[in-house]
Amino acid sequence: MANTVQTKAAVRPVDTQQPRATIARRQKSPYPFWFMIPAGVIYTVLFLVPAAVAFYFSLTRWTLFDQEFIGLDNYVQFFEEPALVSGLTHTLIFAVVTCGLKVVIGMALAVLLTSQIIGRAFLRSVAFFPVLVSTIGVGIAFTVLMNPTRGAINGALGVVGVQGPGWLTDPQWALLSVAFVDVWRGVGLATVIYMAGILSIPQEYFEAAKVDGAGSGQSFWHIVLPLAKPATVTVLILSLIGGLRSFDLIWAMTKGGPGFTSDVIASVIYKQYQAGFYGLSTAGNVILFLLVTGIVVPLFWWFNRKGVEA
Amino acid sequence: MTSRRPNYLLSAIALALFSVIFLLPFAFILFTAAMNQEEAATFRFSWPDNWQLIQNVKDVFRTRDYILVVAFINSTILTVASVAVMVILAAMVAFVLQRRKSRWNVPINILMLAGLIIPPAVVPTIWVMQELGIFKTMHGLILVEIAFGLSFCVLLFQAFISTIPRQLDEAAIVDGAGPLGLFFRIIFPLLRPVIVTVVVVQTVFVWNDFTNPLYFLPGDENATVQLTLFNFQSQYNTSYNLLFADILLITIPPLLLFLFFQRQIVSGLTAGSVKG
């Protein structure tokens, strides 16, 4: 008993006084650093170390057992082969399209689902459920639905007299079609994030605006849009990260085809890995890493700085 | 937005729109899963001529010596083990990180955020696993899932632990609790609401994970449920009814979790997103 009281007294200065900290640390803190060791070891060995050594292995010709240093050859090859470098542009297109649509549609659905309509709870669940369904399952189902001649989507379009495109077989449409399915699958998450944002806005603002004669359009532009900005930032960043890293859905629906027209970096990484070009595959990984951090980190920093100013 | 009376016209439009966009694809999966082989191959979206869902489910289980049963067992082991370990380890990290301020906090937090942003380096991870002798093993894949899921869990736990008053720790210490006793007997039970959230979200995530088993646990005998879908896809070019029955079966566990824990899932995924 006396011992523990002493320990507690000794813990206090750890935070404030440097010289005594080392003495106190030898005493037992109730918050020992070794608590972090198991998680730290797993995380370091299986996540941080691979991420770090990727930079070295991307400079080699590599078979897992044998490696030969070849400098920047993998990167040169990546940027010279049209099939590979187009993966880079496709990744950007896919990320921007999915992210933009999720922000806009998510916001619209959230406004709808926070307004006075019947069956809100049900509609919320309906929109959110696809988030939890197997991506591969969704991909397979939509591959069938998007079949150019027999699929239900073009069948329905045919009824109203529209000739639907070959969603997944037309090189111009394949990447966009997969992006649409990704939006279908992920917009529920954007919606609930926006709903949380809108519901946190005090109701008085809307009432005050109404007294001042603002219509619903005005209160959307001047109240909802600015005050839901943290939600927008979250949706934007989450869907950008998701879009840039996206692999499952593309692989389930088109495998990068037709040709290489829907290949993204993540699918290039897998194809090169399957083909045994481990160095090239890892170079793709490093490029993806640089792309994601190069876009997301500045964006994150910029939004945070703006937030402080406001 | 502030009118009290429900807008009937808007409600009707919303209901119709949501049904067409979000429910019809699921109806399509269900109908196709209940068709016979020839009918399913037409890709027709209609009520099956004769409803043979049960028969198809039996068939899909029987395929290739009950590989789907093995896959269900594998996926269950993978999910339960990785989520259980992830939750405990992440809570321990979050506890120390939140309570003990040191100059290591900032770098540790940055490394943690990196886990949410950086795509895992695939082949180097395989290389590390091979050096450790855990490539193509279930425990290897479990460790990978833990490593990739930790960041999200720690962030959620950290936010929650900051709401637990420190006086509680101090009282427990005065009463003679050591660090382990303090954490496992006092703090951990208090984390229950956030634990439920983390468990449900990660369970859905690991259950639906396709990429990591594809890379780190290849081989048919090790298939997880998502991989059976993928394998059936290339194999079953003709039996779409069985393929869709498989989709239906592996969607049941997330569906059940969703029905029971919808609120926790939503609150977990939106945590911290509103305050910015």
Q: State the average pLDDT over residues B182-188.
A: 91
**Burial (CB count <10 Å: 0-12, 13-18, 19+), residue A293:** middle
Q: Do B95 and A31 touch (CB under 8 A)?
A: yes
Q: Do A5 and B174 touch (CB under 8 A)?
A: yes
Q: Do A234 and B127 touch (CB under 8 A)?
A: no
Q: What is the pTM of this model?
A: 0.87
pLDDT digit string, tens, across residues B53-69: 888 888 888 888 888 89
Q: What is the pLDDT of residue A16?
A: 45
Q: Of A40, A31, A296, A35, which Cα lies nearest the Cα of B107?
A: A40
Q: For chain B, what percent of residues have pLDDT higher than 70?
A: 94
Asked whether the predicted pLDDT for residue A3 surpasses 70, the reply is: no
Q: Do B4 and A112 touch (CB under 8 A)?
A: no
Q: What is the pLDDT of residue A142?
A: 94
- Sign of the Cα torsion A260, A262, A264, A270 reads negative
Q: Which of A14, A107, A132 should be substituted to probe chain B, the one whose Cβ sees the most B Cβ atoms within 10 Å?
A: A132
Contacts of B144 in chain A (CB under 8 A): 46
CA separation for the pair A86, A259 (Å, rounded): 11
Asked whether the predicted pLDDT for residue B9 surpasses 90, the reply is: no
Q: Do B11 and A48 touch (CB under 8 A)?
A: no
Which candidate from A114, A137, A197 shows the least CB-CB separation from B247?
A: A137
Q: For residues A236 and A124, is the Cβ–Cβ distance under 8 A?
A: no
Search chain A and give the residue with CA nearest B233: A140
Search chain B and give the residue with CA nearest A133: B251
pLDDT digit string, tens, across residues B128-140: 999 999 999 999 9
pLDDT digit string, tens, across residues A163-176: 888 888 888 899 99
Mean pLDDT computed over every residue of chain A = 85
pLDDT digit string, tens, across residues A260-279: 889 999 999 999 999 888 99
Contacts of B240 in chain A (CB under 8 A): 144
Q: State the average pLDDT over residues A271-299.
A: 92
Q: What is the pLDDT of residue A303?
A: 84
Which candidate from A33, A46, A184 shows the least CB-CB separation from B125?
A: A46
Burial of A242-269, coded b for 16+ CB within 10 Å and e otherwise, reads bbbbbbbbbbbbbebbeebbbbbbbbbb
Q: What is the pLDDT of residue A27?
A: 58
CA separation for the pair A94, A99 (Å, rounded): 8
Contacts of B99 in chain A (CB under 8 A): 30-31
Search chain B and give the residue with CA nearest A180: B21
Tokens of A243: 């879009």
Which candidate from A33, A114, A292 shows the least CB-CB separation from B119?
A: A292
CA separation for the pair B207, B178 (Å, rounded): 36
CA separation for the pair B118, A241 (Å, rounded): 9
Contacts of B96 in chain A (CB under 8 A): 31-33, 35-36
Mean pLDDT computed over every residue of chain B = 87
| Distance from the Cα of residue B175 to its chain's centroid | 39
Give the model's confidence band at A161: pLDDT under 50 very low, under 70 low, under 90 confident, else very high.
confident
Helix (H) or strand (E) holding A60: strand A60-62
Asked whether the predicted pLDDT for residue A85 surpasses 80, the reply is: yes
Give the model's confidence band at B79: pLDDT under 50 very low, under 70 low, under 90 confident, else very high.
very high
Contacts of A35 in chain B (CB under 8 A): 92-93, 95-96, 179, 183
Q: What is the pLDDT of residue B108?
A: 92
Q: Which of A41, A109, A144 should be substituted to probe chain B, the one whose Cβ sees the most B Cβ atoms within 10 Å?
A: A144
Which candidate from B4, B21, B93 shows the least CB-CB separation from A39?
A: B93
Q: For residues B83 and B202, is the Cβ–Cβ distance under 8 A?
A: yes
pLDDT digit string, tens, across residues B67-76: 889 999 999 9
pLDDT digit string, tens, across residues B195-216: 988 898 899 999 999 999 999 9
Q: What is the pLDDT of residue A6?
A: 43
Contacts of A189 in chain B (CB under 8 A): 269
Tokens of B28: 């399509």
Q: What is the pLDDT of residue B273?
A: 60
Asked whether the predicted pLDDT for residue A17 surpasses 80, the reply is: no
Give the model's confidence band at B52: pLDDT under 50 very low, under 70 low, under 90 confident, else very high.
confident
What DSSP assignment string belongs to A112-174? HHHSS-TTHHHHHHHHHGGGGS-HHHHHHHHHHHT-TTT-HHHHHHHHTT-----TTTSTTTH
Asked whether the predicted pLDDT for residue B40 surpasses 90, the reply is: no
Q: What is the pLDDT of residue A4?
A: 41
Q: For residues A68 and A60, is the Cβ–Cβ distance under 8 A?
A: yes
Q: State the average pLDDT over residues B173-185.
A: 90
Give the model's confidence band at A88: pLDDT under 50 very low, under 70 low, under 90 confident, else very high.
very high
Q: Do A289 and B254 touch (CB under 8 A)?
A: no
* Rg (alpha carbons) of chain A, rounded to whole number: 26
Q: For residues B36 and B49, is the Cβ–Cβ distance under 8 A?
A: yes
Q: Do B128 and A155 touch (CB under 8 A)?
A: no
- Sign of the Cα torsion B252, B253, B256, B258 reads negative
SS3 A62: strand
Q: State the average pLDDT over residues A49-69.
A: 87
CA separation for the pair B121, B137 (Å, rounded): 19
Q: State the average pLDDT over residues A243-267.
A: 90
